Amino acid sequence: MTDLFALGHCRLFLPVGAAVFSFLIAACQTQPTKAVDPSTQTGTRYELLSEGKKGLEKSLAKSEAARKDLEERIEDIQFRLLEKDAQIKGLEEQLKSQQRALDDAFLEVVRSKAKLRSLETKAEAASNMAEAEIAAKALKVELGAGDQDADVRRGEQLLKMSAEEFKNENYGGALYLTNQAKAVIKAGQTRLRAGEGTSAHTGETVFSQPLELRLLQRTNLRQDPASKSKILGRLEKGTQVLGYSYMGGWIRVGGEDGPKGWVLRSAVGAR
């Protein structure tokens, strides 16, 4: 009796168990796929952006260094152009002077001096010629450029012409030419004196001839090319100066009457 009851009980719950089992199987089959953690994707993206930022910073640093180097080269070229312009200006003045020397009016003046021979003495002409020759030789030695210097060449040319006139007994013409030679020699001496009173620094580069510059801003005139050097004075914006040499970021300048010293290259420009 008991066994029959148990058997009937099992038969009663068999369909229920089968239904539960089928439900569990269906639930397992329809279980959704596990989602990817979004924090993992964010971390990877941050690392990539961080690496990209570092690369951009390195490229920017290289570009900045290249820019500064280019600016320094441009400044060097600008001052070299000023130097060349000054050389061209000097050559143009020499050509004008030589042209005037060959001008018919100039020769006419020389020849007209022959009519005043009685007013000019042979001794005076000879004395002035000797004085001018000594001055020309001294200038040649002081400049250290020999016959390559324009003032030396012009002075010697005028003295040679003077000697020819003296030989032809045109003492007035000889004296006139001698005085012209003395004026040229004096100009060379003035140019030479402009660079005196300064001592060269190691690495200092002297311009072939003084550059005509002006102050672009108010600045200190220093004794040496250094920011901590002694201040000799203060130059106002617009002041006209002559540039004699440069060293690094500094230029040695001076006026006709003022002291010579150093200013920053960025503080000066062409007139």
Domains defined for the chain, CATH in brackets: 89-194 (no CATH), 205-270 (2.30.30.40)
Mean confidence (pLDDT) of the chain:
77
* N-terminal to C-terminal alpha carbon distance within the chain: 132
| CA-wise closest residue to 82 among 247, 209, 239 | 209
Q: Between the ranges 24-33, 50-59, 172-181, where is the mean pLDDT highest?
A: 172-181
- Digit-coded pLDDT (tens) for 87-109: 888 888 888 877 777 777 766 77
C-alpha atoms less than 13 angstroms from C-alpha of 212 in its C-beta half-sphere = 7
Q: Is the pTM of this model over 0.95?
A: no
Angstrom distance (rounded) from CA 126 to CA 178 = 9
Greater pLDDT, 218 or 86: 218
